[in-house]
């Protein structure tokens, strides 16, 4: 026996074996989740996904309720979001300490380049392809597999799990977890599954905001477009703005963050400016009257959001002033604030569970941050609780946010074992903070 391998109770050992034996159940659940389009923008599939999850959770004795973020908090006129922002909170109330299990249910939209149907799970050997397979519907499937094994084999849990299935993490203006925190609905400590399967100790992450820039011209017949005063071409009027943003981009990229970079990074983590989308024009027979540009800015924890936003808006307005008669409107349509160092007392036991599930050793773990973003900065700010455990299924080769996103059967099994061990009362009981004097 490996000296690093913990001794497991008979019930927990049988449940671990059941996870291996029943992985097809998790794959079936994942297939059903992927078939529901929850891409944001626009985020119109949240109601349907909540209905599916309520059905999948019923056999596990959870009481599930829908919590809808009020439209006044997230709607922006002409913005990218539409549809009800339906979150699902599923609880068991047996009197034990609560462990929140967090998942964002939205995915990014389908990008060009998929060779497979992104809304149909495709299995090729050990790999499972589909939009959201790794980020992060596969983590929900792993959690259900772990909870089913615990129920069927009588594993006593140390915690009452509280599943938080939340909206609008992928760039929304008012993420669901923020609203739940403001309503005082969060309990205990939380494991956030929007992370990686690596041996990583999370050090925090950047913030990001998205500005929708509407450039307004005047539409006329294209044949009249060269006549003085006939029309204003919004697309051509956008060029000075685009050029000004492009000129700002390398300056922003020279700035450095003190967050420790990932082991695979070639240098320090840096802020980023991205022109993310452009939409405008109707036909070749008409001078285009409007263009929408989405500008995204990832900012380091050391930066001021207000200053970063003001810098971009000043550049945009300067470019617009060079075109007489051009209209301009700038609106915030998405914002995630930085997450500060989330280390806390529950991490050592989660790390031990990761070692059991994924086969890591304690000296495999490294601490690093990320320029990717999380909605848990809001949780820290609102609740005052800094601790957030981060884990998940992401790997560099998983193609998250890209065509052919995938996870693997083995990673789902490994994560399910990790979750089961962590929730179990019998696993590393001397490291359960709530049980210490």
Q: Spell out the residues 6+ positions from residue 395 whose beta carbon is closer than 8 angstroms to its own.
A: 134, 196, 197, 198, 411
Catalogue all structural domains in the chain, each as residue range(s) with its CATH number.
Answer: 10-204+338-435 (3.40.630.10), 206-336 (3.30.70.360)
- Residues 309-351 have pLDDT tens digits of 999 999 999 999 988 889 999 999 999 999 999 999 999 999 9
Q: What is the mean pLDDT of residues 161-186?
A: 97
Least confident of 184-198, 207-221, 345-359, 389-403: 207-221
Contact 255, 311 (CB under 8 A): no
Q: Would you place residue 286 in the very low, low, confident or very high pLDDT band (cuts 50, 70, 90)?
A: confident
Q: Which residue has the higher pLDDT, 386 or 3?
A: 386
- Residues 18-47 have pLDDT tens digits of 999 999 999 999 999 999 999 999 999 999
pLDDT given at position 217: 87
pLDDT given at position 2: 46
- Residues 386-402 have pLDDT tens digits of 999 999 999 999 999 99
- Residues 65-90 have pLDDT tens digits of 999 999 999 999 999 999 999 999 99
- Residues 86-136 have pLDDT tens digits of 999 999 999 999 999 999 999 999 999 999 999 999 999 999 999 999 999
pLDDT given at position 1: 39
pLDDT given at position 3: 41
pTM above 0.85, yes or no: yes
pLDDT given at position 171: 87
- What is the sign, positive or negative, of the torsion defined by CA atoms of 3, 363, 15, 406? negative
pLDDT given at position 436: 80
What phi and psi values does residue 273 have, to the nearest 5 degrees? Answer: -120, 130
Residue 244 has pLDDT above 90, yes or no: yes
Q: Cα separation of 217 and 79, whole Å?
A: 19
């Amino acid at each position: 026996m490996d000296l690093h391998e913990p001794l497991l109770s008979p019930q927990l050992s049988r449940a671990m074996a059941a996870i291996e034996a029943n992985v097809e159940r998790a794959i079936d659940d994942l297939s059903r989740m992927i078939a529901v389009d929850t891409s944001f923008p626009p985020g119109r599939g949240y109601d349907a996904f909540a209905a599916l999850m309520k059905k999948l959770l019923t056999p596990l004795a959870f009481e599930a309720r829908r919590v809808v973020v009020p439209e006044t908090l997230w709607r922006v006129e002409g913005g990218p979001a539409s549809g009800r922002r339906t979150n699902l909170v599923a609880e068991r109330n047996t009197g034990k300490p609560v462990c929140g299990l967090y998942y964002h249910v939205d995915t990014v939209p389908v990008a060009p380049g998929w060779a497979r149907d992104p809304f149909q799970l495709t299995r090729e050997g050990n790999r499972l392809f589909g939009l959201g397979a790794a980020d992060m519907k596969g983590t929900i499937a792993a959690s259900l597999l772990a909870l089913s094994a615990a129920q069927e084999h009588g594993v006593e849990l140390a915690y009452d799990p509280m599943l938080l299935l939340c909206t609008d993490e992928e760039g929304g203006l008012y993420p669901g977890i923020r609203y739940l925190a403001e309503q005082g609905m969060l309990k205990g400590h939380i494991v956030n599954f929007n992370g990686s399967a690596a041996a990583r100790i999370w050090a925090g992450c950047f913030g990001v905001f998205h500005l929708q820039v509407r450039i307004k011209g005047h539409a006329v017949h294209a044949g009249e477009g060269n006549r003085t005063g006939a029309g204003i071409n919004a697309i051509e009027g956008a060029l000075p703005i685009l050029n000004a943003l492009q000129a700002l981009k390398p300056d922003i990229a020279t700035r450095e963050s003190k967050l420790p970079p990932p082991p695979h990074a070639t240098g320090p983590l840096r802020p980023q400016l991205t022109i993310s989308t452009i939409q405008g024009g109707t036909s070749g027979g008409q001078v285009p009257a409007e263009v929408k540009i989405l500008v995204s800015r990832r900012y380091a924890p050391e930066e001021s959001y207000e200053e970063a936003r003001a810098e971009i808006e000043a550049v945009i307005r300067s470019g617009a002033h060079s075109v007489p008669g051009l209209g301009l409107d700038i609106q915030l349509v998405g914002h995630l604030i930085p997450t500060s160092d989330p280390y806390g007392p529950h991490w050592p036991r989660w790390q031990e569970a990761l070692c059991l599930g994924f086969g890591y050793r304690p000296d495999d773990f490294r601490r690093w941050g990320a320029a990717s973003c999380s909605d848990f900065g809001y949780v820290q700010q609102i609740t005052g609780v800094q601790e957030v455990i981060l884990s998940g299924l992401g790997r560099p080769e998983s193609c998250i946010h890209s065509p052919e996103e995938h996870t693997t059967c083995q990673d789902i099994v490994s994560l399910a074992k990790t979750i089961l061990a962590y929730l179990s009362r019998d696993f590393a009981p001397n490291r359960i903070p709530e049980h210490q004097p």
